[in-house]
Structure 1
Amino acid sequence: MMASAQVVLGLMPTLLASISPSAHETAMLFVFGDQQLLSFLLMVASPASAVDASGNLYQYVQDLKGSHEWLSADPSSLLLHRNLAIVVLEFLLAAVAAGNVLVLVYEICMRVVFSFAQQLQWMPGLWVAVGVATHLFMTVALRTRVHIRDCRTSNVSLSTRILRWMRAQFTASDGSSETTEVQLRDRTVANVLISWLTGLLAAANTLLGILQFSSLLFISPNDALFIVVRFVASAVVCRILVKYELWLVRQQVKVGGGEQAKGDASMG
């Protein structure tokens, strides 16, 4: 029974990576959206994520040009995103998902034993930390690759920008007009190195998760399935929220690309 539980838990990191929002999606939401606090909660709730190791961000940015993915309805026909209750519900779901992951990881640290390192009870916490670092490094890679011109903050003071940012964290977007212009920059050595480091972190996160979860001792198959279900539940909630938020972001972002960006896409 314990061997069966180890097989189920060993497959869990790979399963989560296929269900959770990718690091590219959370990075686009963090960089192009107005709700960075929500984005960070989603990163914590998605410790396992898929990453394109090639470092080619051109296609991911180009996907913002249209709303053909997931939802194709006209934003003017859907008034849900104008309701403050939807924003509160999103924060509540993201906080519950992140709290579920953190509490579950804490319970694993306190109650189980790893066959390869009995004294290292903090290993699940390291797995979550590496996963969050993967999302954050991808955010840095994306931010250094694009130039953003926000028409709402182009000619205002720093204090006004900070106040608008704080208010935007808890304000629903109306999606009425495109106010943010995004232009791809040329690739730099630093950008390529950050992208490669992100891919290495994602691989290390998956390997670390498989290693530690497949080595849990004194755990039954029922408990193993319960752990998987809780992690998957957080991943599904995060994926729904990220897809919905990116759909809103597409209504406000205007993407432009030059010949250099197209050349990068063909080489990638």
Structure 2
Amino acid sequence: MPRFSRPFIFSLLLILLLQITHVSGARDQFQHWYPEFNHIFERIIRENCSSEHHFYLTAQKNRTYWNETSRWIGSGNTASLIAPLVNCIMGACPEYMKSNMASANVILGLAPMILATLGSDVDETSALAVIGNRPFFALCLTVGSPAVIALRSFDYRDPKAVLNDRPLRLAPVFFDFHIELLITVLEYALVFAAITNVGTLGYQLGQNVALSFAPNYGYLILLWCFFSPIGHMVAAWALRLHVHWPGRTCIKKSRFPCFSSSSFRDQLKTFFVGYTLNHPPPDFELKKETPLYLLLSWILSLLTAAHVMFGTLVFSSMLFISVRDSITVITRFMGSVIVCRVVLMYELAKLRHLRNLHTGEEGGVERNGETQSSDYRLANMARGSEDRQHYAPRRYQPYGTTIASY
């Protein structure tokens, strides 16, 4: 599995813990609302629930008060201050608003599964992280796409299936290193924008809505948003245990596929830009399954199922949001998911093309009904490309036919 340094992981967990502690102790809910019902909720708090709102902002938790009041409206001890205010606001809402919010709960409850369907599979992100040697970029893609499709237990798929060629596919275009670097910078900008969008949405939802089963735990929405990378990291770990690079010597203390024939500069370029025609991905083979691999695969199926269930629970229990506002929220989530999906597919297409080109699994490119050889492909690459200048041809024989390959 691609490893991050222990100080980095410790710092990340510490920041997350501090954020959760801050959010769980803060009382910043019921100050901002989503636009459609904003004026109505402000009027209800001002005219109908002012005492409950003041008590929520100023009082301290008291078990005696909970025994006398909040307990009898279905609240737990942890929500003793906020439950009376939620109950008061809901009681003052017109029935039309309640039906609108109930419809929004249905739409929002379907959101995690819809986003998971549109998002990336753990097999794809783990292939980019391990086979493509780009763990950091794969991690960023998983953070910007806060959903993961549930996997069946003990369903072990072939890791090579993600990188296998398919007939008549559109081959990616390769440019020189400087243009590829510019494309990479653009990809990082898009992915970081998607991450910012997801974080902003999670924070706004935590402030503007209340969860019916845990109204004082607004951070649960953010927790769901940034919980999906755990499943992707487990999948990358399992894949790293299942593959090896024959004929390559690696540093024993490292889990990266580091090769003695590659310089540090090449490794750095691959880490940020990816493999190129001049520096193709090495071929890999599958190893025999180990008990740890089977255990991780089983844990992965549980994590993905738990993520979908947790997301459905959180989103379907949101109060104080209308159908129109919920559609806006889901659309913004979908935007982040689609951006990360497109970027991942582009990177996997390049990785698949390079791997098949150099392992003899890919034939020519079809054009005008005729199959063109790789000589034609090289002739149509960008002029002045560094890869074109330095890449040497070789021969291979796929499917029993000899084809010139580059």
TM-score range, shorter chain: 0.7 to 0.9
Instruction: Give the counterpart letter for 1:106 in structure 2.
Output: Y
Give unpaired runs (5+ residues) of structure 2: 1-99, 249-256, 361-406
Instruction: Give the counterpart letter for 2:198 in structure 1.
Output: V
Q: Counterpart of 1:137?
A: 234
Return the alpha-carbon distance in structure 2 between the equivalents of residues 253 and 154 of structure 1. Answer: 17
8 Å contact from structure 2 (residues 238, 297) kept in 1:
yes
Q: CA RMSD in A?
A: 2.5
Return the alpha-carbon distance in structure 1 between the equivalents of residues 315 and 345 of structure 2. Answer: 29
Give yes or no for the alignment of 1:155 onto 2:260: yes
Cα deviation, 1:159-204, whole Å, max 9, x if unaligned, reads: x54x544333333543356441110011111101101101100000
Distance 1:81 1:90, change over 3 A: farther
Return the alpha-carbon distance in structure 2 between the equivalents of residues 153 and 139 of structure 1. Answer: 16
TM-score (norm 1): 0.83
Question: How many Å apart are 1:41 and its aligned residue?
Answer: 0.9
Q: Secondary structure at the match of 1:181?
A: coil
**How high is the sequence identity, in percent, across the aligned residues?**
32
Please point out which of 15, 36, 41 is paired with 2:114.
15
Distance 1:149 1:43, change over 3 A: farther
Give unpaired runs (5+ residues) of structure 1: 257-268
Instruction: Give the counterpart letter for 1:99 in structure 2.
Output: T
Give the structure with higher Rg (CA): 2
Q: Counterpart of 1:187?
A: 289
Please point out which of 130, 135, 138 is paired with 1:39.
138
Please point out which of 209, 214, 231 is paired with 1:112.
209
Q: Counterpart of 1:124?
A: 221
1:80-91, aligned counterparts within 5 Å? 80=175, 82=177, 83=179, 84-91=181-188
Give yes or no for the alignment of 1:221 onto 2:323: yes
8 Å contact from structure 2 (residues 276, 354) kept in 1:
no
8 Å contact from structure 1 (residues 9, 213) kept in 2:
yes
Return the alpha-carbon distance in structure 2 between the equivalents of residues 31 and 164 of structure 1. Answer: 16
8 Å contact from structure 1 (residues 147, 182) kept in 2:
yes
Question: How many Å apart are 1:33 and its aligned residue?
Answer: 1.3
Return the alpha-carbon distance in structure 2 between the equivalents of residues 81 and 24 of structure 1. Answer: 29
Q: Secondary structure at the match of 1:47?
A: coil
8 Å contact from structure 2 (residues 118, 338) kept in 1:
yes
Instruction: Give the counterpart letter for 1:193 in structure 2.
Output: L
Q: Secondary structure at the match of 2:259?
A: coil
Instruction: Give the counterpart letter for 1:56 in structure 2.
Output: Y
Q: Report the number of matched residues.
A: 248
8 Å contact from structure 1 (residues 22, 51) kept in 2:
no
Instruction: Give the counterpart letter for 1:234 in structure 2.
Output: S
Please point out which of 192, 195, 205 is paired with 1:95.
192
Cα deviation, 1:208-239, whole Å, max 9, x if unaligned, reads: 00001000011111210111001111111111
Q: Counterpart of 2:156?
A: 56
Cα deviation, 1:241-267, whole Å, max 9, x if unaligned, reads: 1111111111333679xxxxxxxxxxx
Instruction: Give the counterpart letter for 2:283 in structure 1.
Output: E
Q: Secondary structure at the match of 2:146?
A: coil
Give yes or no for the alignment of 1:6 onto 2:105: yes
Cα deviation, 1:80-113, whole Å, max 9, x if unaligned, reads: 5852221111111111111111111111112210
Distance 1:172 1:190, change over 3 A: closer
TM-score (norm 2): 0.56
Instruction: Give the counterpart letter for 1:190 in structure 2.
Output: L
Higher RCO, Cα 8 Å, sep 6+: 1
Regions of 4+ moved over 6 Å: none
Give yes or no for the alignment of 1:25 onto 2:127: no
